[in-house]
């Protein structure tokens, strides 16, 4: 018999996997496209990345807090547990870096499309956006890694509220 708690755990792990996997995949493919310097390849890759971010990442972003809350309630963990509060704070930090990245990816896509259509090199604006996009990935990536660690180890950090 399938247990409610097992379904919640599965959904929460699935959401975390999609969130992390999509983020890592997007970063890899955007970096590889950027390294070509080819505006057509970058435009195409960025187009797919924008879609993937909306379909996969956004879905997981919504799923995670819902399944996390339901999971905590079912197990009896307080949302005020230190490790839960720390994980939620890191989740917010991740989101604060992810939201601007969505906008940057769209603009990089549009700039690459325009460069390709007009036979031009990628603009300075594109390169500034790419560097910013790349740097924003680090705090988001490491925050997610720490969230995984917190969820697995559930360290005793006391009750915050």
Give the contacts of 94 (CB within 8 A, at least 6 positions apart). 139, 140, 143, 144, 147
**Tokens, residue 112:** 């690459």
Tokens representing residue 111 in the block: 């700039």
**Which residue, 44, 45, 36, 39, is CA-closest to 116?**
39
Where helices occur in the chain by DSSP H, the ranges are: 4-36, 39-52, 58-75, 82-117, 124-153
Nearest to 157 by CA among 96, 100, 77: 77
Kindly report, residue by residue over 12-26, the tens digit of the pLDDT. Answer: 999 999 999 999 999
pLDDT at 158: 72
Confidence tier at 157 by pLDDT (50, 70, 90): confident
Residue owning tokens 């680090």: 138
Predicted confidence band at 119 (pLDDT cuts at 50, 70, 90)?
Answer: very high
Domain definitions of the chain by residue range: 4-153
Q: Give the pLDDT confidence score for residue 2 in this predicted structure.
A: 86
Residue 85 has pLDDT above 80, yes or no: yes
Give CA 54 to chain center in angstroms.
11
3 state SS of 77: coil
0.85 exceeded by pTM: yes
* 161: confidence class by pLDDT, cuts 50, 70, 90: low
Q: Looking at residues 42-56, what average pLDDT do you find?
A: 96
SS3 of 119, please?
Answer: coil
Across the chain, mean pLDDT equals 95
Contact 40, 31 (CB under 8 A): no
């Amino acid at each position: 018999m399938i247990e409610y708690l097992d379904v919640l755990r599965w959904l929460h792990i699935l959401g975390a996997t999609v969130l992390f996997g999509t983020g890592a995949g997007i970063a890899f493919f955007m970096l590889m496209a950027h390294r070509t310097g080819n505006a057509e390849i970058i435009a195409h890759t960025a187009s797919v990345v924008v879609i993937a971010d909306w379909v996969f990442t956004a879905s997981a972003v919504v799923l995670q807090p819902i399944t996390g809350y339901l999971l905590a309630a079912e197990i009896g963990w307080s949302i005020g547990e230190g490790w839960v509060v720390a994980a939620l704070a890191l989740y917010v930090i991740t989101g604060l870096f992810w939201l601007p990245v969505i906008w940057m990816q769209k603009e990089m896509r549009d700039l690459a499309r325009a460069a390709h259509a007009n036979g031009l090199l990628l603009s300075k604006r594109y390169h500034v956006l790419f560097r910013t996009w790349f740097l924003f990935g680090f705090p988001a990536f490491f925050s997610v890694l720490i969230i995984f660690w917190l969820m697995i180890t559930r360290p005793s950090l006391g009750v915050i509220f």
